[in-house]
Structure 1
Amino acid sequence: MIRIIALTPAGEQLAKKLQACWLGESSSDGNRLEVSVEYKPKPFAEFVQNAFQQGDWLVFICATGIVMRTLAPVLQDKHQDPPVLVLDEEGKFVIPLLSGHEGGANEWGAQVADRLGAQLVMTTAKPYLNPIYTLGMGCERDCPLEFIESLMLDALNLKGLMPSDIHSLNSIDIKADETNLIALAQKYHWGFNTYSAQELTPMESLLSTKSDYIFKTVGVYGVAESAALLAAQNESGSEPELVLNKIKNVKATVAIARGFVDTKKEAS
């Protein structure tokens, strides 16, 4: 559940605009994503603290001081607290206030900034940078779609991402004809790219783990991470990084990578 909390008429207008950005989105369990606009909820402190404690993701359109004073009594730690964003009522700035890395607020804030055309304000990333997210997947031959899709949705949920945040699905060239990887990309309107082992090899130093078995089988130490990283590099033109190290089920693996596009440079 995402709650957008506004305290002024201008803030409420921005909240409704942001709510519309998520219209029709699905959560990781396949259900429709719930996004509510809360205008001057009363009693304010009790409402906000209850929402926070039940794990709702919160977007405040107000002063950061109000948010911190209200949430201070219920804060636990960065591993348990849900992500919190703060926006100014003009929608020019997005501030990941709580649970930046561990809770996913930094990445979520980058997505919100991208959708609003706003500037992301945080100490762990440079301003004017918009993220490009890519998926890398490997799977058994003729892997059923439900195994691939459920794993992909689990991965996105772990990082607070939506399918619409992903730019492409990527794998190794021996999977170029993998029916359900193609089907997954088509279902979510992603590009589907495959790369040779030779093209993927330069990503080796960025892998979280290296599998000798995979190397002997296909010629690279990891398909999902390598493919995601190379795609992020190609699509952003920047040094890629892993957002989610590979996770797997019994038939498939998936990883998420990211590159950044300098929108200020593009505009000049």
Structure 2
Amino acid sequence: MSALDWAALPSLIYFATSPSTGTRDATTIFSPEGRLYQVEYALEAISHAGTALGILAQDGIVLAAERKVTSKLLEQDTSAEKLYILNDNMICAVAGMTADANILINYARQAAQRYLLTYDVDIPCEQLVRRLCDLKQGYTQHGGLRPFGVSFIYAGWDAQRQFQLYQSNPSGNYGGWKATSVGANNASAQSLLKQDYKEDCDLKEACGMAVKVLSKTMDSTTLSSEKIEFATVGKTKEGKIYHHLWSGEEIMALLREHGLAKEEEADSG
């Protein structure tokens, strides 16, 4: 080695062995306390995202999400940015980095279509969730990668288990829930859901519960169709499964029904 190389060696050794760089910046290295800091940092990023929640009812599932308006000057997009359709029987809500979510949503849609093309039947809900979580977990196990900074709430139906609600986080872990939430004020939302949830609630009651929880946990003091998104999965009288992303008018009608509409919008209606 040259004199310059030898002079730089102590700095290189320090960089490689320093606790701040060796364990906190590396995705695949456990800290002395047994922690993966990059995964924890991804979870922390999600805790600053808009709240998203899901509630499982007897006859369907409701997903609701907070759409954060960062500036009054920003032109509002009419399309959903927190709720997405995965296939004919599944939808999801996201909290975290939208760019990361788009990659995973495209992967899930392709996996669902490949399964449908191969077996001529829609993929079971948990199997699609597991495939997505396997991908997310892989990004915590290989060097040069970082975890996806997004959590999902999945709502779907299949013939084996009927209506199902799942949640997953950047570590690749997932679980089934009766009611759950992710994002900002998650602890408060979980506490409210735990208090108000009823095993025998129907889809209409679940929608009312969702909007009330959002009204108590969102940073905004008033609710409007520009600040929240709603979607439902249900079954028609003919037994056909449907998913529905709510329009602004439908959301405002729900807010008025529960006395939560923004005053000026309620007056104009």
Larger radius of gyration: 2
Highest RCO, 1 vs 2 (Cα 8 Å, sep ≥ 6): 2
> TM-score when scaled to structure 2?
0.28
> TM-score when scaled to structure 1?
0.28
